[in-house]
Structure 1
Amino acid sequence: MSYVVLARKYRPRSFDQMVGQAHVVQALTNALQQQRLHHAYLFTGTRGVGKTTVSRILAKSLNCTGPDGTGGITAHPCGVCTACTEIDADRYIDYVELDAASNRSIDEIRDLIERAAYKPSVGRFKVFMIDEAHQLTRDAFNALLKTLEEPPEYLKFVLATTDPDKMLPTVLSRCLQFNLRPMAPETVHEHLLNVLQAEGVPFDAPSLRLLSRAARGSMRDALSLTDQAIAYGGGALADDTVRAMLGSVDRGDAASLVRALAQRDGTSVLAGVQALRERGLSAAATLEEMATLLQQVAVAQMVPGALDETDPDTGGAVELAALMPPDETQLLYSIALHGRAELSLAPDEYAGLTMVLLRLLAFPSAGGAPQGVGRPQPVRTAAAAVPVAAPAAQPMAPAAALRPSPSQSVAPLAVAGAAATIRTPVPPPVRPERTAVPPPTRAESAAAPAAPARPLSAPARPPASAAAEVAPSRPAPAPAARPPAPAAARSPSAALQEPPSWHDEVPPWDDEPGGWQPGAAPETEPADFPLADEPALAVPAASPARPQAAVEAAPELAPTVLGERWTGVVQQLRLVALVRELAMQAELVAVEEADAPLWRLRVERESLRNPALCEKLQTALREVVHPALRLEVEAGKAQDSPALREAAERDRRQRQAERIIQDDPLVQQMLQRYPTARIVPGSIKPN
């Protein structure tokens, strides 16, 4: 007699033998006992969870006649009558299984519908089972709809699918749907234990746990892997042989990597990855085992004592739970999960594993910054140390008198060669409740630096803590009315009934970085920017229109004769995309005139020194300069390139526009009239 594989030999033949699908068994058992039978059933679930098995048991329950041949519909088929034995042997004439993966067209469905017109030959019901029903064509589904909705009383439909989302909603609405769930590893472990004991196969507990987890909820896969492991191990199951067959990573290897990451030991992490490479273990399996371990670690951290004490892996998880904070455990778990998808994108599987594991080391640990990374020290400015003092108390002016007109809030200005926007707010008054500040002494007045007259492009104002010490230079006039009573003389109810003072808030333009305040001295000395075709112009180091970062990042241009020649040639070339970028960033450093001229370019970016790009640039130069021209590209920082010349020209035009705005009489008049007026940062644009 030929050998029968375990998946077929131990296939359940009744609802009592079903494992892990209690919710489906209970619903079908009650329906059979109460004779509340639907005409169409739909079983969904992943592979190997029992969809076809439930269909066959349901067919036996509908057609079972009992051992004596007098039985009726039952939830417990006898297994010995003709219907039960022939359905188990797949030769019952009134039970038809159709594989929709290979019989998916409308012709097969029409043939099935024609057979549905005839009554059962030997059984009580005709049962049509369509496996992988989601692979039927749309025409086949449409042809089946009418019969599926109103079949004859002797006909039952059973549909099974692993992807119900691909089925037509009209089909789903005509079926009673049951979702068969993947089985827990504990359920699979228990069933495999019974099977191996019945077969008399020697085994150990670790090998059984490995097979239970590798099945991933599929009982058929679990039995098939067990068959394979028995053959691989020569009739016995051992931990090392099963692990070698599955390609699984030992829990100790995963624990070593997690321990090294918890201790921020990059050397041990690299050594562990190298050991995995030498043993030929899968990187994806390593991350999978780490994720399983980290899940147990997280449970041990958040719910102590919740892990199974009989599991030998529990001790290692509890030990690691004390080495890592919970947030790092969650972070490493997410890194391990998402890292599996990145392995296929890496040039080398183990290089990808190394990058995934080192990702945790890039984050600061609970004790500070990551290794090798220094924390930046805070920069203390002179303005931050200025004490905050309240201005002198003055009578409060009415809100209507203090509200600026629309023409005074934002004033766009356009002069020859430049355009700017000037905000002219009215300085807010000060509430009388504030404490007056004593006037400075003569010595303090003499030591204080003189404030600039009224610069248009002033340096960045100090923070709010320093600006609060400066009183408005021109307070709004108060009406000739009795000033309000002091705060101590007013009742709380009167204070609550007082309307809100919008003018006590800091104007939005004073909250922007780089704003100028009256009396604020520049933080740095002005810097000179010599121009190529005009005298030097003194510009503040950090103005509202030109931040300090932009001034420091200005490109350094060292004009040369060859650079002038190269810029003129580039303007004649018709280049696009990266080839044009190569020409713009390159500097012509040498020219050798001969029958075949040689031009040598210097380019800093390695990506632009691509041989293909250089070949295209050489071809374009041959059309303009010389048909035999040769081009060489070397690495180095360019000092005179078309891109640097364009940047210098833009910088010159910007500074010229700022000077035009500064010297304009109208601008000076507005600044004299409104002391707190300033130019909106970045609004000066050359025309």
Structure 2
Amino acid sequence: MAYQVLARKWRPKTFADLVGQEHVVKALQNALDKGRLHHAYLLTGTRGVGKTTIARILAKSLNCENPSNGEPCGQCQSCTQIDSGRFVDLLEIDAASNTGIDNIREVLENAQYAPTSGKYKVYIIDEVHMLSKSAFNAMLKTLEEPPEHVKFILATTDPHKVPVTVLSRCLQFVLRNMTPQQVADHLAHVLRAENIPAEPAALQLLGRAAAGSMRDALSLLDQAIAMGSGKVSEEDVRHMIGAVDKRYLYELLQSIAEQNGAALLQKAQEMAARAIGFDSALNELAVLLQRIALFKTVPSAISQDDPERDTLQILAEHLGDEQIQLYYQCAIHGKRDLSLAPDEYAGFVMTLLRMLAFSPLAAAGQPTNGQISGTELHTPSTEKETGAKKPIALPDHSGQPEAAEPSDVQVIEEATPENKPAIAPEAEQVEPPPFIEPIIEAPVFAEAVPADTIFEHAVAVTATQAEEYSPPWEETPSEHEISATQPYPDYPIDYPPPFDDEEANLLPLPESEHITYGSNEEEDGVETDAEETFAPMPEFTADNWAQISFRLSRKLGAAQMLTNHAAWVDFDTENKVLTLSLTANAAKEAKSKGFFDKIRNALAEAYDMPDLKLQTCAWEENRNWETPAMRKNRLQIEGRQRAQQLLESDPACQKLMNLLDCHEWKADTIELAENIEE
């Protein structure tokens, strides 16, 4: 008998044989067991997840002579004929080859006849999204109300191309991609049944390479068996799918952790000489960093018999949490930018150099001209020559390249009380004012902090006149970050307050238009309600229209959108007629008379005017009409201008602008925390 490939030989024959898709199997089995059968099913999912397989099993269950809890027996005549492809009442149609209306018309004409030998006529239409528009239209009526003896099972990899009129007539099931672990476990089961030896690491590689498709995994397994001459080894699988030898990854991380740039570049050149795919290398490096982070956070997640456990433990001991996260981000961003690099080797090397040069965000703060200690890039040469560092000893992996010589690598010296940088005695007694503390003790960042971020916090400090301020990137400065005797050049220690009383009175706002900074309406909700309940309403005049609209906003609900965009035009005191004018955009949306009735009723109740009438007029430009929304925007602009003047007159802000070489303000980036109570 001719050899049968594993993907066909191990194709599931019953629901119990399926791997994954439990949500679909459970629903179908219960429907078959209870007799709640739909006339049309739609199975969607990527290639190789079991759409056609489930369709055939469902066809067997529908026509099985001895079903058990929704499972086909596999022994009756219907089951055996369906397995062999000779069942006359099961018709499989490839919609990719039969896309025309004539093919569908032929199917629909035959559907009216009773089944020959089975209980149901089952039509399996694969890749149904390939049908033409006319073909879909032709089958709509039959698909909605087919004969009782007909069942349609549609399968597609792209349900978005199926017309919604077809989707609404089907019971849809979405098949999920299988996880790498599910694929690896099933491959191990297949190999045990086939009596073929295999290494667990090789099956894990095949599980990831299959990308959720069991058919692809079995095809790759066939190829790996042929390549290994009857066995499946990790080395053969890596060579077959282009995966990177993990020893390279270990040594790359070892060189990065030890800040050994020479060894890092040497390893990259060796990988290039072996024609290793750098895209795959960065992907595998990200996976390794993820496993290190997992081991460091949840050690029990890595099983004791995992062959990588010892290596992961050693690397986790020499890499901090921040370093692992930073290197992981560098790896995935480097993989994304690889196509933009001059060539893959250059992009790969730049990613490694980025890991080597960058410091985590949580690194100890340093002065502007300071050096980061403990790194090969920044440590003075005299320290390199005299420092006695021990290399990272990785476990030996048989059959793989040996680790670099101990003399070629160095480790990062851990910070201890003995090697912490000394602080000058006089520096401990000098304490700069809290306001300039963030400027003097600015930390070293992995990436530059945008100037806009610094200015936002400068605005907050100036507006609230904060006596103590700590920026979000540094909550508690370390005591040894910088000596207080080494401030920025020409930066005075005894600094005046941010602005004096005379400066604070620049551009004073009227009391009626006062903006309260930093208020929180939700936290002060009880007090606000109490004030609004007992405070008298403003006088019913045009000048108070914005305050009136604000006070009635809770009663108006959705109608407040109209008052916010309506200007007070005139009030006839004799006839009690209030005239409002809506802006052009608001007039388009004002289609409900109920909103105007709600506004009139709220005003009449608030001012005890039961005979109040409300009318609108067309908006006229150049009439100096101002809606509450326009007024709020005007106050915000004036507030930004006032805040900008206060900042420009503040010596600390001037010093910061000179330090960052900034000479132009972006007024729209100044945000005011305001709560206008009118």
TM band (smaller chain) = 0.5 to 0.7
Residues 26-79 of structure 1: CA deviation (Å, up to 9, x unaligned): 2211111111111111112222111111110110111122xxxxx468622222
Aligned to 2:122: 127
Equivalences for residues 457-536 of structure 1 within 5 A: 465-466=495-496, 508=643, 510-513=645-648
Residues 107-142 of structure 1: CA deviation (Å, up to 9, x unaligned): 332232222222222221111111122233333333
Q: Secondary structure at the match of 1:311?
A: coil
Answer whether contact 1:300 1:321 (CA < 8 A) is retained.
yes
Aligned to 2:462: none
Give how far 1:471 is off.
8.3
Answer whether contact 1:47 1:218 (CA < 8 A) is retained.
yes
Partners of 2:201 and 2:104 lie apart in 1 by 48
Give how far 1:266 is off.
2.8
Give how far 1:161 is off.
1.7
Residues 209-253 of structure 1: CA deviation (Å, up to 9, x unaligned): 322332222211111111111111222222222221121112222
Partners of 1:238 and 1:385 lie apart in 2 by 65
Residues 155 and 361 of structure 1: CA distance in aligned 2, closer, same or farther (over 3 Å): same
Give how far 1:147 is off.
1.7
Partners of 1:265 and 1:320 lie apart in 2 by 15
Partners of 2:185 and 2:660 lie apart in 1 by 71
Q: Secondary structure at the match of 2:647?
A: coil
2:290 to 286, 295, 298: 295
Aligned to 1:105: 100
Aligned to 1:354: 349
- TM-score (ref. length: structure 2): 0.55
Aligned to 2:259: 264
Give how far 1:283 is off.
1.0
Residues 1:25 and 2:55 aligned together: no
Partners of 2:288 and 2:432 lie apart in 1 by 52
Aligned to 1:89: 84
Residues 615-662 of structure 1: CA deviation (Å, up to 9, x unaligned): xxxxxxxxxxxxxxxxxxxxxxxxxxxxxxxxxxxxxxxxxxxxxxxx
Aligned to 1:75: 70
Aligned to 2:59: 59
Residues 357 and 130 of structure 1: CA distance in aligned 2, closer, same or farther (over 3 Å): farther
Equivalences for residues 140-151 of structure 1 within 5 A: 140-151=135-146
Partners of 1:549 and 1:279 lie apart in 2 by 48
Residues 548 and 216 of structure 1: CA distance in aligned 2, closer, same or farther (over 3 Å): closer
Partners of 1:24 and 1:99 lie apart in 2 by 23
Residues 105 and 320 of structure 1: CA distance in aligned 2, closer, same or farther (over 3 Å): farther
Answer whether contact 2:499 2:650 (CA < 8 A) is retained.
no
Aligned to 2:269: 274
Answer whether contact 1:287 1:336 (CA < 8 A) is retained.
yes
Residues 1:15 and 2:45 aligned together: no
Aligned-pair Cα RMSD in Å = 3.9
Partners of 1:548 and 1:235 lie apart in 2 by 67
Partners of 2:49 and 2:345 lie apart in 1 by 34
Partners of 1:297 and 1:161 lie apart in 2 by 39
Q: Which runs of 5+ in 1 are unaligned?
A: 66-70, 375-383, 389-460, 477-496, 498-505, 524-543, 552-679, 681-687
**Match of 1:511, as an amino acid?**
L
Partners of 2:498 and 2:119 lie apart in 1 by 95
Residues 1:189 and 2:184 aligned together: yes
Q: Secondary structure at the match of 1:339?
A: helix
Residues 166 and 316 of structure 1: CA distance in aligned 2, closer, same or farther (over 3 Å): farther
Answer whether contact 1:249 1:285 (CA < 8 A) is retained.
yes
Aligned to 1:136: 131
Residues 1:255 and 2:285 aligned together: no
Equivalences for residues 548-627 of structure 1 within 5 A: none
Residues 145 and 315 of structure 1: CA distance in aligned 2, closer, same or farther (over 3 Å): farther
Partners of 2:188 and 2:433 lie apart in 1 by 78
Give how far 1:466 is off.
2.9
**Match of 2:49, as an amino acid?**
V
Residues 318 and 171 of structure 1: CA distance in aligned 2, closer, same or farther (over 3 Å): farther
Partners of 2:498 and 2:248 lie apart in 1 by 62
Answer whether contact 2:64 2:72 (CA < 8 A) is retained.
yes
Partners of 2:43 and 2:342 lie apart in 1 by 42
Residues 1:334 and 2:316 aligned together: no
Aligned to 1:49: 49
Partners of 2:75 and 2:91 lie apart in 1 by 20
Give how far 1:363 is off.
2.5
Q: Secondary structure at the match of 2:38?
A: coil
Partners of 2:644 and 2:494 lie apart in 1 by 13
Partners of 2:228 and 2:325 lie apart in 1 by 38
Give how far 1:300 is off.
1.7
Give how far 1:4 is off.
0.5
Aligned to 2:159: 164
Partners of 1:510 and 1:112 lie apart in 2 by 80
Residues 545-572 of structure 1: CA deviation (Å, up to 9, x unaligned): x999699xxxxxxxxxxxxxxxxxxxxx
Give how far 1:196 is off.
1.5
Q: Secondary structure at the match of 2:221?
A: helix
Residues 1:180 and 2:175 aligned together: yes
Residues 140 and 343 of structure 1: CA distance in aligned 2, closer, same or farther (over 3 Å): farther
Equivalences for residues 412-451 of structure 1 within 5 A: none
Residues 489-510 of structure 1: CA deviation (Å, up to 9, x unaligned): xxxxxxxx9xxxxxxxx96465
Give how far 1:372 is off.
4.9
Answer whether contact 2:95 2:131 (CA < 8 A) is retained.
yes
Q: Secondary structure at the match of 2:300?
A: coil
Give how far 1:261 is off.
2.7
Residues 455-505 of structure 1: CA deviation (Å, up to 9, x unaligned): xxxxxx9999437798869x99xxxxxxxxxxxxxxxxxxxx9xxxxxxxx
Answer whether contact 1:61 1:74 (CA < 8 A) is retained.
no
Residues 1:208 and 2:203 aligned together: yes
Answer whether contact 2:498 2:651 (CA < 8 A) is retained.
no
Partners of 1:286 and 1:507 lie apart in 2 by 55
Residues 359 and 173 of structure 1: CA distance in aligned 2, closer, same or farther (over 3 Å): farther
**Match of 2:86, as an amino acid?**
R
**Match of 2:496, as an amino acid?**
A
